Amino acid sequence: ALHEDQDHNIQNDLHLAAGDGNFELVKDYVEGRQGARKFPIASVDQDGNSCLHYAVRGGHEQIVKYLLEQSASFDQLDAMGCTPLIEASKLGNVSIMKKLVAAKANVNVQD
């Protein structure tokens, strides 16, 4: 369910599934599987957070890897000016940082 209107600047079920670490549900929403509503992978919430931001903050490596394979934007800035790579760095999650850098995330963005 959307938490406001359509897919623009609101938290949606894809964001929640990514943050909760529900890999199968993330795949359902990205691919429209199992009759699930398909959410745009580029959708952001009211604070500019993408599903990749949510997955990084939750430390969900499998979901991060999958979203990158599905061409999720790794350079999306949230309202605080943070990319998923900056979030991973703040959390000290080296494994996720390596995945983002391998996907060519911009390592020059400053927080």
pTM of the model: 0.86
Q: Looking at the domain assignment, is residue 27 inside a domain?
A: yes
Calpha distance 62→111 (Å, rounded): 25
Q: Looking at the domain assignment, is residue 80 inside a domain?
A: yes
Q: How far is C-alpha 103 from the geometric centre of its chain's CA atoms?
A: 14
Per-residue pLDDT of the chain (111 residues; tens, 9 = 90+): 444 444 457 889 999 999 999 999 999 999 998 888 999 999 999 999 999 999 999 999 999 999 999 999 989 999 999 999 999 999 999 999 999 999 886 666 665
Half-sphere exposure of 109 (CA within 13 A, CB side): 19
Q: Which CATH number characterizes residue 81's domain? A: 1.25.40.20
